[in-house]
Structure 1
Amino acid sequence: MTNFSELNLDPKVLQAIEETGYLTPTPIQAQAIPPALLGKDVLGIAQTGTGKTASFTLPMVTLLSKGRARARMPRSLVLAPTRELAAQVAENFDTYSKYTKLTKALLIGGVSFNEQDKLIDRGVDVLIATPGRLLDHFERGKLLLTGVQIMVVDEADRMLDMGFIPDIERIFQLTPFTRQTLFFSATMPPEIERLTNTFLNAPVKIEVARQATTSETISQRLVHFRPSRKDRTASEKRTMLRALIEAEGDAFRNAIIFCNRKVEVDVVAKSLKKYGYNAEPIHGDLDQSHRTRTLDGFRDGSITFLVASDVAARGLDIPNVSHIFNFDVPTHAEDYVHRIGRTGRAGKTGITYMLATPADDKYLAAIEDLVKQPIPRVEAPAGMPENSRKEPSRPEPETEREPTRRRNPRKVRSSSAPAAEAQAAEAPVVAAPVAQAPVAEVNVVAAPAEVAERPERPERRQSRRSSSRTGRGEARDGGRDGGGPVVGMGDHVPDFLLRSFAADPKEV
């Protein structure tokens, strides 16, 4: 197979292909188009960037060139997982059908229902939709799927990741059993295989590359570093990202930077703008008009850095992307294949980097197991701090807890007891309050002098603890600290605090 003219396509389709500049079909196109033109079900498995969209768009335009659509009953249906991919399919359809009279409608979120209803009411040959919006129209009674002749499921594995499989099963059940089904995916997980066995009738299976393989035109690189502190991981990764961009020099043209979370997309885009880079974010929480403007700006070169979530990882045909940066290691190994597939398309070369820390080792191992090859490690760019490879020194735990020990009153009393006893030995004993105390208090008053003579005898310390428990420790404290300041009372203790109010032994 050398060119499109040998694929039995409609002459009007061939004219449109010639104007696009394509002459030779890709392997998936060369193998999928002939059975599709014969009306057979097709199961196509090919890595991203191999031209799967044209594999079903070209035969659809040829097969639908005869016939007429009826109101609210589309003749064909294309399901895509994301708005951007659906819009891209619509663009391909416009390109290849411009010399025909076929009509289309695009049903995606973020667009008014009224405008979409008007298109459906007039009747369309091709209905391109995301599963959620399609079912919304159906449940509102604005759409019938009983006239679908050709049904296409694009990026089926992404449908699985996004939780659309129940919706896909329901849509299959709403279409005629006699429909022709074209099913395309980059990988074939067990759930997708179950779906194809259920709804495809003796499909022609086309696998132009081993599942989950990466293109040979892509140079993959991994920077594995250890952050200086866990709470500085994101900040140091942003520094590393800027260093990698600068290190590429003249080889750099533009880049897509992938993050796992939407909030991280916004943070990274804001950080790049702060340092003078022309960057814009794109993720599912942005308005559709904003997302469309951002993608158009990246395609025409007015935006250099596209910071994206996985909404841009599947199926988007953005030509001439020189670099892909995985700011985060994807938690699903298949996402790595799709992310780096945004570069190195149509035989062109591309460079990818992935930033990984020890916390990502589990996900990294899953990726290397999926692609059946280790990702080459490269050193961090010159100028990065050396702590990217060392554990930071931390203060000893005992030092951090020292203030807590000082606030412990038991520790304070124990450490200051010898000095306090020495003060008590040299200080004069306050006699006036003791003269009015009961006889039981005499031994307590004499205790400080005895302690001064024999400060190390434990029986005296035990006696003082016993007197404190019986409520007569005030005299002991006054004798010990009488010559020095008393904590909380200043330099003077009122006499009434040293008096004992114990009951008379005779009354007891």
Structure 2
Amino acid sequence: MTSDQSAGSQAGLEETADVFSSVSKTSDTPLPDENPRFESLGLSAEVLKAVSESGYTTPTPIQAQGIPHVLAGRDIIGIAQTGTGKTASFTLPMIEKLARGRSRARMPRSLILEPTRELAAQVAENFSRYSKHSKLSMALLIGGTSFEDQDRKLDRGVDVLIATPGRLLDHFERGKLMLSQVQVLVIDEADRMLDMGFIPDVERICKLTPFTRQTLFYSATMPSEIQRLTEQFLSNPVRVEVSRPATAADTITQEIVEIPHNDWAKREALRRLVREGDVKNAIVFCNRKRDVDVVARSLSKHGFSAAPLHGDLDQSVRTKTLDAFKSGEVQLLVASDVAARGLDIPEVSHVFNFDVPIHADDYVHRIGRTGRAGRSGQAYMLASRADQKYVDAIERLTGTPITRRAMEGIEIREDLGGKRHERGERGRGRTSKRGHDRRREPTASSPEAAPQQMAAPDEPKPEIQQKFRAKDKAPRQSAVKNQAVQQPRPPLPANVACTEDAAQLPAFLLRPINLPKAEKPAPRTKKAEAKLDASV
């Protein structure tokens, strides 16, 4: 960047600060007083060429506000939802700042932290697109891939390092990485890192980087823990907020489908919504990983093209699933919140909330997967009476009531006896009933007994009869044996001397013992008695 460009960007900060302070909620809404272009943000010709080749001409509000401050070297606190273009708001000026200089082995010049592998891979893809006319090198450090390939890239030296906290610390502890040369540190999706428990790792990484670094901090919300982190590691930051913490795009049609509190009813309602709606592709959100697998299997069983996506899957499987969804091979992506956070899939027509999110903020992130770039989108949420408190929290957060409608024909299944199939009891109820029918003995008047009386089985062979007779005798013998054991003990023999507790002894200890008779002692003589008296 030339000195004239730097001076121009510095002079334009004060002029644009007040203008951009009241930016509208969505990224596709024009700015109040002017419609800036990327050429006015102080970017170089190489970066502008890459942006133009990517099909962008007008910056989004987060880009228009953030890029001049990043080029000026200020720390940033960016409050923006996913899908507002914040990735370009820090990658474009980063390319500009790193254009001069070269990297050293195992010492990256900039670091971008992402909470999930998918989001890190997506940022790496965008960085490669914007930096194709520069000579910057980049490495992606995420789990599920080979350490050796990542070590080779680090040994050659990289300008930009994009990583998840866990894999980054693994390389550091192995002595393959040093963070003493980091000039720009980006912490993206900080609120999601808080939910995933990465804040201690983020604090450790911040302490490993130089104190003089520039820190760019982005989060959709600002809870107290995130606020504490910014106060600890940012120096006089500029707050850039382009939308309220929880807003939905006007292009998204939201609807709550009221259903009974039953798993079967939820799956049936989901299938009916997919069949009735003009669903090009959709993301189905579940609260738990286990439910992600269950719903994906259920949809596939009923003929839908569905695939699961959650954190327990191998990285190769997750990458293959995302590629299949983007290419159209998979129509329905059943995902958890963590796995789908920040995914850039621009043409998602529908979002289905199979489970009502426990945290109201997650609802905004979920439905933000559709209705992007001015396109219309549909967002459905399956809810029962048990979910009412979560629905109320969502409506309080968004400030807008959500339209409700009942799904006709969706009821809790009942068996012939009128018993309701509650959650997890349908299979056990059927099995128990079958077992009860097998144990019930048919009477002569019952319809089950008639076929048995009419059907005369063939007589078994003699050797088979003997075999079954031998088996029938065994239990009777054991019964006689048990009966003999339970008989009262016989009285004690008269010639046995015992105490009062002898009656409590086992019977085999009370049998009389025939001892040999003791011989009578020989009478003592006078000589023997005299000898005994002398000894005494």
Q: Report the alpha carbon displacement of residue 372 of structure 1 after superposing the two structures with TM.
A: 2.0
C-alpha distance in 1, partners of 2:72/2:413? 59
Which residue of structure 2 lines up, in the alignment, with residue 94 of structure 1? 128
Which residue of structure 1 lines up, in the alignment, with residue 274 of structure 2? 245
Structure 2 counterpart SS, 1:21: coil
Q: Give the counterpart letter for 2:305 in structure 1.
A: N
Give the alignment partner of residue 202 of structure 2, picking from 168, 181, 196. 168
Which residue of structure 2 lines up, in the alignment, with residue 53 of structure 1? 87
**2:42 matches 1:8:** yes
Residues 76 and 362 of structure 1: CA distance in aligned 2, closer, same or farther (over 3 Å): same
Q: Deviations over 1:441-497 (max 9, x none)?
A: xxxxxxxxxxxxxxxxxxxxxxxxxxxxxxxxxxxxxxxxxxxxxxxxxxxxxxxxx
Q: Give the counterpart letter for 1:78 in structure 2.
A: I
Equivalent residues in 2 for 1:94-493, closer than 5 Å: 94-226=128-260, 233-249=262-278, 252-380=279-407, 384-385=408-409, 387=411
Q: Report the alpha carbon displacement of residue 211 of structure 1 after superposing the two structures with TM.
A: 1.1
Which residue of structure 1 lines up, in the alignment, with residue 463 of structure 2? none
TM norm structure 1: 0.73
Give the alignment partner of residue 29 of structure 1, picking from 63, 72, 81. 63
**2:109 matches 1:82:** no
Q: Deviations over 1:146-175 (max 9, x none)?
A: 100000011111011101111111111111
* Structure 2 stretches lacking a partner, 5+ long: 1-34, 421-536
Q: Report the alpha carbon displacement of residue 369 of structure 1 after superposing the two structures with TM.
A: 2.0
C-alpha distance in 1, partners of 2:189/2:42? 26
C-alpha distance in 2, partners of 1:389/1:36? 59
Residues 67 and 386 of structure 1: CA distance in aligned 2, closer, same or farther (over 3 Å): closer
The two structures, once aligned, show a CA RMSD in angstroms of 1.9
CA contact (8 A) 1:225 1:389 kept: no
Q: Deviations over 1:357-401 (max 9, x none)?
A: 122222222222222222221231xxx4253699x99679xxxxx
C-alpha distance in 1, partners of 2:129/2:229? 31
C-alpha distance in 1, partners of 2:228/2:393? 23
Structure 2 counterpart SS, 1:182: strand
CA contact (8 A) 2:311 2:339 kept: no
Q: Deviations over 1:123-146 (max 9, x none)?
A: 100000000111111111111111
Indicate the percent of aligned positions where both proteins have the same amino acid: 65
Which residue of structure 2 lines up, in the alignment, with residue 457 of structure 1? none
Structure 1 counterpart SS, 2:297: helix
C-alpha distance in 1, partners of 2:182/2:147? 21
TM norm structure 2: 0.70
Q: Give the counterpart letter for 2:159 in structure 1.
A: D
Q: Give the counterpart letter for 1:157 in structure 2.
A: D
CA contact (8 A) 2:265 2:411 kept: no
C-alpha distance in 1, partners of 2:412/2:390? 20
C-alpha distance in 2, partners of 1:393/1:66? 79
Q: Deviations over 1:262-299 (max 9, x none)?
A: 11111111111111111111111111111111111111
Q: Report the alpha carbon displacement of residue 2 of structure 1 after superposing the two structures with TM.
A: 2.5
C-alpha distance in 2, partners of 1:98/1:284? 31
Structure 2 counterpart SS, 1:377: strand
Q: Give the counterpart letter for 1:156 in structure 2.
A: A
Which residue of structure 1 lines up, in the alignment, with residue 98 of structure 2? 64
Q: How many residues align?
A: 385
Which residue of structure 2 lines up, in the alignment, with residue 501 of structure 1? none
C-alpha distance in 2, partners of 1:16/1:345? 22
C-alpha distance in 2, partners of 1:189/1:350? 29
